[in-house]
């Protein structure tokens, strides 16, 4: 333990601020978090100095799959032969990052565990660079020493990509939180990677702009992490993906080389678009240090409608009608099924704002003219009701009622945590097939599941499928997987719509990508990070390692 | 010549349809084309069997730069040591592409010359595959034989990227023109790469959708070529770049391997986004064979306004006002200066639709409600006039007047061809700097230039800077370059906003990209195309070869 004391950092005073799911009250949040979110039992508190060959993440549900004669594809692979951190290494880091090299295990705790508390690493060193040059020096050193590195933003990922698996050095972007420039004519913002999304949103709203993405985790997540994971979220339907809105970025490669592609231009066709390599590669190809992003104007009017439909087919027809009649002001088209409503009623005591229906829709409009937006919405609702596409509905224009209606969609995740152990899937499908998977899964599982619920982003073809059980149930899991992945693959869907692959889903990649594509990804990894030090065990399947 | 006769293709009956600049009348088009567009003297008609070490492109203006003691960076490099096509090769191609292997030099003529008639190759073989499997077989063979290949779409590029430089085999996508699927709920279209953009637009308009991009060359350009060059065009302001709207693609790699990433999903975070490698890489990394693209709904109302401003600052303030008041219905904000207007009046006899002003703006709105759109536009115009941001203006709502107003912007290129020899630049800049380059260039050149004009896409920060001279003028060129590139680089702009680098601009890449980035591009090229057979001499600078 003297080893431990030697590296206790006394200067580390920054308390990690955690805010998730902004729609949830503080009280609810507390419950939410303490019950380990997806029903997993709490992870063991482990010393990061325990042998790293021991179990490194305690409760990943897929690890518990019974009856499988092959190792669970989600299980952590063997530790790769990276060097281990020595006192000389720590001395080097302290020299270049005085006061920002953390080795106290208590202080490292929150960085070693993901926010679902489902995955745990045992890193002994947390580095908190402030500049790109800091990151460059760190990676140059780690690469030369063959030390593995886990880049970490707000640690809000859902697939175990944001925490170490073994003793990887954690490189946190938390102190890289400066806004660099904002051009109020073009709406182009540049900032360091560690800026918290909500802070950027607040900064922009004062200037009559908004960020092109919005997430439940906005109070904690970093823009660098958003870009590294190609985060989707609530505004994708309207403003498109980060692949279009991110105009430039700066990244540090595994060998410490700084790649400056931080263009602040809407158009630039000079050579290959290297920034795309880093968007969505989950920190495995480089560490994003700064981002340039195109921001839309702040809408002057926002309306939210909550509707009920008798069938999913009607819900899709309503979507079509909505796209035609609301046109350019449509900013969200989300859904939940009656099972979700039951859980909201039962566990959170949230009353149904309309009469009971098999399906519910949340529609949001964002526009520049309140009168016009109101008229468009009225005409759409009139048509939807007249043609019997929807059976009931309510409209909100004031802020508190808008939040209340949105919470019916946003708090489904929370309600699920009270229903039992939850198996969660984030699936992308052709929009007309979305709900068939829920129906088929319900029929497939029969009474083995407690609840089988579906909700998500209809507008993006993104289903959140959740199955609950009173307790962990390996037999149930074996019934769900690989059924869910095979079903998705048969529809040419994606087994990870917006969450990425991280540690947990890396070996399922073949359900959505052909082997040639995966092999090419492996070549790209080998080209950019020949020693494989950047976020190892993530994104790419083990058979490429 | 018996060699030539041996490979004359008698089955080749397809007459190449060429339609450029849809806003230009047939008569105007004819003049436009016969005067070689940018004032270059007509290219020599050369037999493709002439020694390939001779001058391969006759009239690239930068090649004529006087007083330069270094070789012009745009000059064609030496032919690389690829194999030459043998009778056995042609026999192989005839076997796999019966009737679609063209060797008649007359029939090859239009494929060997770019549409500006500024660049010429001397290919002896044109291949017209119909399927991905055809393309795969061709590339597998060419790679094994070390035969260079020039992938060609509609051959409408502006930087010499779409034609061979020496005797590369031309692989045309012209016969790969099938629409594969269209989902009327999601608006996702999949099609083969050789579909002509205008045909896709017509197909979609019948189904109440539009393509997310629109170009002057839409009657000829292929969607595969659009994607391969990351084409910008007139709708980028509203619908974003192809990097966001292209959802998937299929490409054949240099060794013939088919990479199927033809997802029809808005969200898919399963590994690295390989399709981005091919978007904008100008056929140097693979041949795009099919595309999946997200299409917006067809707008129900379109309005166009033509305004005059006293200063460029007022023009930018009008843009700001416009973004705020027109919001979600703004679909274009284009400009031209008074020099452009003078050329339109003088050479095309187009009268100014409003009173004379230093700057003119074309604003387009596209929305879902004609009444609302009209009201928004009225309110905006009222405010713009009241606050003296604009001095005069006219509005069009009916189709013929809309086309007439658009032609004031679209026909500037044509007017320039009548003004003399034209040096053309496609520059991306921070929006507030756009016009400063025109002013500085005018001052810098003094009376050495006949006209120095600026126009382009303000909304995208994209300036088209053009300088004319009575005849080719190497001294004038030496005054323009590298001044224009250095000026652009000093503002962190892009020396190619939307046209790409192709052959002509490949060596200017360092003005917009750091050497580390270019080196990485070279590594990517080497990884995907180790023999360098795909579109050689394009995109990447010679010092990487």
Average pLDDT over residues B188-214: 97
CB-based contact A261 B297, cutoff 8 Å = no
Residue ranges matching CATH 3.30.43.10 in chain A: 2-166+528-544
**DSSP conformation class of B313:** H
Residue range A2-166+528-544 forms a domain whose CATH class is alpha beta
- B327 vs A367: CB contact, 8 Å cut-off? yes
Does A249 contact chain B (CB < 8 Å)? no
Mutate to test the interface with A, among B248, B268, B281, B524 (most CBs of A within 10 A): B268
Tokens representing residue A497 in the block: 């719509």
* pLDDT tens readout for residues B350-371: 999 999 999 999 999 999 999 9
Buried b / exposed e over B111-143, threshold 16 CB at 10 Å, is: bbbbbbbbbbbbbbbbbbbbebebbbbbbbbbb
Interchain CB contact of B181 with A (< 8 Å): no
Q: Top-level CATH class of B419-511?
A: alpha beta
How close is the nearest chain A Cα to the Cα of B275, in Å?
10
Of A185, A261, A517, Cβ closest to residue B517: A261
For the stretch A33-84, pLDDT in tens is 222 222 222 233 332 222 222 222 222 322 323 333 334 556 678 999 999 9
Identify the residue whose tokens are 């606050």.
B387
Partner-chain contact A186 B281, CB within 8 Å = no
Q: In this predicted structure, what is the pLDDT of residue B33?
A: 25
**Predicted local confidence at residue B457, as pLDDT:** 93
Q: Is the dihedral of CA A267, A273, A275, A276 positive or negative?
A: positive
Interface of A with B in 22-81 (CB under 8 A): none
The verdict on A378 touching B (C-beta cutoff 8 Å) is no
Query: Residue range B431-456: average pLDDT?
Result: 96
Q: What is the pLDDT along chain A (545 residues), one digit of tens a residue?
A: 333 222 222 222 233 332 323 332 322 222 222 222 222 222 333 322 222 222 222 223 223 233 333 345 566 789 999 999 999 999 999 999 999 999 999 999 999 999 878 899 999 999 999 999 999 999 999 999 999 999 999 999 989 999 999 999 999 999 999 999 999 888 999 999 999 999 999 999 999 999 999 988 899 999 999 999 999 988 888 999 999 999 999 999 999 999 999 999 999 999 999 999 999 999 999 999 999 999 999 999 999 999 999 999 999 999 999 988 999 999 999 999 999 999 999 999 999 999 999 999 999 999 999 999 999 999 999 999 999 999 999 999 888 999 999 999 989 988 998 999 888 899 999 988 999 999 999 999 999 999 999 999 998 899 999 999 999 899 999 999 999 999 999 999 999 999 999 999 999 999 999 999 999 999 999 999 999 999 999 999 999 85
Report pLDDT for A304.
97
Whether the pLDDT of residue B17 is over 50: the answer is: no
Residue A460 in contact with partner chain B when CB distance is under 8 A = yes
Choose which CATH entry (1.10.274.10, 3.30.43.10, 1.10.150.120, 3.30.70.20) describes domain B2-172: 3.30.43.10
Judged by CB atoms within 8 Å, which residues 522-541 of B form the interface with A? 523-524, 527-528, 539-540
Instruction: Report d(CA B59, CA B167) in Å as an integer.
Output: 18
Contacts of B493 in chain A (CB under 8 A): 265
CB contact under 8 A, B276 and A273: yes
The pLDDT, as a whole number, for residue A118 is: 81
Out of A232, A260, A517, closest to residue B261 by CB? A517
Q: Which residue of A has its CA nearest to B526?
A: A527
pLDDT of residue B61: 29
Which residues of chain A make contact with B235, given a CB cutoff of 8 A? none
**Chain A residues with CB-CB distance to B492 below 8 A:** 263-265
Among chain B residues, the shortest Cα distance to A371 is held by B372
User: What pLDDT score does A485 carry?
Assistant: 97
CB contact under 8 A, A241 and B236: no
Instruction: Using CB atoms, pick whichever of A366, A372, A520 lies closest to residue B372.
Output: A372
B370-413 pLDDT tens trace: 999 999 999 999 999 999 999 999 999 888 999 999 999 989 98
Integer Cα distance of B359 and B337 in angstroms = 5
Contact A261 B513 (CB under 8 A): yes
Q: Are A159 and A505 in contact (CB under 8 A)?
A: yes
pLDDT of residue B184: 87
Closest chain A residue to B252 measured between Cα atoms?
A516
Q: Which of B328, B435, B490, B521 to mutate to test the interface with A (most CBs of A within 10 A)?
A: B328
Question: Cβ of B436 under 8 Å from any chain A Cβ?
Answer: no
- Check if the beta carbon of residue B301 is closer than 8 Å to that of residue B366: yes
CB A334 within 8 A of CB A458: yes
Q: What's the pLDDT at B72?
A: 53
Helix (H) or strand (E) holding A515: helix A515-528
Instruction: Please count the CA atoms within 13 angstroms of the CA of A522 that sit on its side-chain side.
Output: 16
CATH number for the domain formed by residue range(s) B179-294 = 3.30.465.10
- Please give the mean pLDDT across all residues of chain B: 86
> φ and ψ at A304, to 5 degrees?
-130, 140
Mean pLDDT for B507-511 is 96
Q: For the domain bounded by B301-412, which CATH number is listed?
A: 3.30.70.2190
Is the domain covering A419-512 a CATH 3.30.70.2740 domain? yes
Size of interface A-B (CB pairs under 8 A): 274
- Mutation site for B-interface testing, chosen from A208, A225, A254, A269 by largest number of B Cβ within 10 Å: A269
pLDDT in tens, B71-111: 355 667 899 999 999 999 999 999 999 999 999 999 999 99
- Taking alpha carbons only, the member of A346, A282, A350, A338 closest to residue A310 is A338
Name the packing angle between helices B132-145 and B87-96 (round to 10°): 160
Q: pLDDT-based confidence at B212, cuts 50/70/90?
A: very high
* Rounded Cα distance, A530 and A151, in Å: 17
Quick check: B520 contacting A, CB < 8 Å?
yes
Secondary-structure class of domain A301-413 per CATH? alpha beta
B45 neighbors B505 (Cβ within 8 angstroms): no
The pLDDT tens digits for A138-159 are 999 999 999 999 999 999 998 9
Q: What is the mean pLDDT of residues B208-221?
A: 92
Residues of B in contact with A493 (CB under 8 A): 265
Contact A269 B495 (CB under 8 A): no
**Residue ranges of chain A assigned to CATH 3.30.70.2740:** 419-512
Report the helix count and the strand count for chain A, using DSSP H and E. 20, 16
Which of A238, A268, A425, A525 to mutate to test binding with chain B, by most B CBs within 10 Å of its CB? A268
**C-alpha closest to that of B94 among B83, B86, B105, B84:** B86
Question: Please, where are the H alpha helices in A269-369?
Answer: 275-278, 312-326, 338-348
CB-nearest to A264 from B279, B281, B492 is B492
Maximum Cα–Cα distance across chain A: 76
- φ/ψ bin of A283: left (φ > 0), alpha (ψ from -120 to 50), beta (otherwise): left
User: Of A413, A267, A292, which Cα lies nearest the Cα of A343?
Assistant: A413
Name chain B contacts of A267, Cβ cutoff 8 Å: 232, 236, 241, 428, 457, 460-462, 494, 497-498
* Cβ proximity of B194 and B175 under 8 Å: yes
Contacts of residue A273, defined as CB under 8 A and 6 or more positions apart, other chains included, come to B230, B243, B276, B279, B280
Between positions 296 and 325 of B, the ones with CB within 8 A of A are 297, 299-300, 316, 319-320, 323-325
Most B CBs within 10 A among A231, A247, A272, hence the mutation to make, goes to A272
d(CA A150, CA B299): 47
- Does the bond joining B113 to the residue before it have cis omega, within 30 degrees of 0? no
Q: What is the pLDDT of residues B223-236, one digit of tens each?
A: 999 999 999 988 88
**Predicted confidence (pLDDT) at residue B222 exceeds the cutoff of 90:** yes
Q: How far is CA B44 from the centre of its chain?
A: 24
Strands (E) located in B113-163: 126-127, 149-152
Min CA distance, A258 vs chain B (Å)?
8
CATH 3.30.465.10 domain locations along chain A: 179-294
């Amino acid at each position: 333990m003297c080893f431990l004391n030697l590296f206790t950092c006394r200067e580390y005073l920054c308390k990690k601020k955690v805010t998730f799911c902004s729609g949830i009250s503080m009280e609810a949040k507390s419950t939410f978090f303490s019950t380990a979110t997806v029903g997993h039992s709490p992870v063991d508190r482990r010393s990061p100095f325990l042998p790293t060959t021991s179990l490194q993440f305690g409760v990943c549900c897929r690890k518990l799959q019974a009856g499988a004669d092959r190792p669970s594809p989600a299980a952590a692979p063997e530790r790769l032969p990276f060097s281990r951190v020595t006192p000389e290494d720590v001395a080097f880091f302290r020299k270049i990052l005085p006061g920002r090299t953390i080795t106290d295990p208590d202080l490292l705790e929150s960085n070693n565990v993901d926010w679902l508390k489902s995955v745990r690493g045992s890193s002994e060193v947390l580095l908190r660079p402030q500049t790109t040059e800091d990151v460059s020096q760190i990676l140059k050193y780690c690469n030369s020493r063959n030390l593995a590195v886990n880049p970490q933003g707000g640690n809000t990922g859902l697939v175990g990509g944001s925490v170490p698996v073994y003793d990887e050095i954690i490189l946190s972007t938390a102190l890289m939180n400066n806004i660099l420039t904002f051009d109020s004519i073009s709406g182009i913002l540049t900032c360091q990677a560690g800026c918290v999304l909500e802070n950027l949103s607040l900064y922009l709203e004062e200037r009559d702009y908004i960020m092109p993405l919005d997430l439940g985790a906005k109070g904690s997540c970093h823009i660098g992490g958003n870009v590294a994971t190609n985060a989707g979220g609530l505004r994708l339907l309207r403003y498109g993906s980060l692949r279009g809105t991110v105009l430039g970025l700066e990244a540090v490669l595994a060998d410490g080389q700084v790649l400056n592609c931080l263009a602040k231009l809407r158009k630039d066709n000079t050579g290959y678009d290297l920034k795309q390599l880093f968007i969505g590669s989950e920190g495995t190809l480089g560490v994003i240090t700064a981002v340039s992003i195109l921001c839309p104007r702040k809408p002057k009017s926002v309306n939210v409608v909550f509707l009920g439909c008798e069938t999913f087919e009607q819900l899709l027809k309503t979507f079509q009608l909505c796209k035609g009649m609301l046109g350019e002001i449509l900013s969200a088209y989300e859904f939940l099924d009656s099972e979700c409503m039951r859980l909201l009623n039962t566990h959170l005591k949230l009353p149904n704002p309309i009469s009971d229906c098999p399906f519910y829709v949340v529609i949001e409009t964002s526009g520049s003219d309140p009168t016009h937006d109101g008229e468009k919405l009225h005409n759409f609702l009139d048509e939807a009701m007249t043609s019997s596409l929807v059976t009931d509905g309510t409209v909100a224009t004031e802020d508190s009622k808008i939040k209340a209606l949105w919470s019916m969609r946003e708090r489904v995740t929370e309600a699920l945590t009270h229903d039992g152990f939850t198996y969660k899937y984030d699936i992308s499908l052709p929009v007309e097939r979305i709900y068939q998977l829920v129906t088929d899964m319900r029929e497939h599982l029969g009474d083995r599941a407690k609840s089988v619920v579906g909700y998500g982003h209809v507008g993006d073809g993104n289903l959140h499928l959740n199955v609950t059980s009173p307790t962990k149930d390996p037999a149930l899991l074996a019934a769900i997987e690989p059924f869910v992945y095979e079903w998705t693959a048969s529809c040419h869907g994606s087994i990870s719509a917006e969450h990425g692959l991280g540690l947990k889903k890396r070996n399922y990649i073949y359900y959505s990508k052909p082997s040639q594509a995966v092999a090419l990804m492996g070549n790209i990894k080998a080209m950019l990070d020949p020693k494989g030090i950047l976020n190892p065990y993530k994104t790419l399947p083990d058979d490429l390692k």
